Structures are given as C-alpha cells and as structure tokens.
C-alpha cells in the first residue's frame, strides 16, 4: 500500500504518524532531488577553466560580503558615537 502523507495529516494523531505505510518523498521533492542530481552531473563535466572561474567568483563574493559587513559595523559604531556626542551636547 502506498499512502500519501498529505492524505493523512489532517486526520491523524501525530503519535500514530509513523505506524502506517507512506511514501517518504512527495513528487515535488523527488523532482527537486532529480534536478539537483542533474546539476551535480553538470559540475562533473565542467572544464578546469570553468571550475576555476566559478571558484574565483565564489571567493570574490565571500570577500565582498565580509567587507560589506565590516563597513556596516563601522557605520553603526560611528553612528553610536555621534549619537552619544549629540545627547551630551543637548544635555549641557
């Protein structure tokens, strides 16, 4: 017997959830898994130059994101200092 999980979810008690036969994956999940396996096959067939280009792009994106986060922290720190100075000036 092959039961779909979706058919039983509204009517079952979760304590009894694992005691009936069911499919482990829904059709969209299986489709996604197959698409992902196709992507891995593409990566296996890519040339060394394409692999190097992809790795370089990933590396640059990582560096860019790190730099962006550092700049955000720096801006927040400076904004906090300016805010403190403004509050001190207002209180005097």
List per-block mean pLDDT (blocks of 10 residues) for the chain, which spans 92 residues. 50 48 59 68 76 94 97 97 95 86
Q: What pLDDT sits at residue 46?
A: 75
Task: Say what the pLDDT of residue 86 is.
Answer: 95
Q: DSSP secondary structure string, 45-92?
A: HS-HHHHHHHHHHHHHHHHHHHHHHHHHHHHHHHHHHHHHHHHHHHH-
Say whether pTM exceeds 0.75: no
pLDDT of residue 83: 96
| Contact by Cβ (8 Å): 26, 4 | yes
**81 φψ region: left (φ > 0), alpha (ψ -120 to 50), beta (else):** alpha
Closest Cα to residue 6, out of 23, 19, 31, 18? 23
């Amino acid at each position: 017997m092959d039961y779909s999980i979706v058919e039983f979810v509204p009517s079952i008690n979760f304590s009894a959830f694992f005691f009936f036969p069911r499919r482990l994956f829904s059709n969209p999940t299986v489709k996604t898994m197959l698409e992902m396996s196709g992507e891995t096959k593409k990566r296996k067939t890519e040339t060394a130059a394409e692999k190097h280009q992809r790795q370089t792009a990933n590396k640059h994106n990582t560096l860019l994101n790190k730099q962006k986060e550092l700049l955000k922290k720096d801006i927040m720190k400076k904004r906090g200092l300016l805010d403190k100075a403004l509050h001190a000036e207002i209180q005097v």
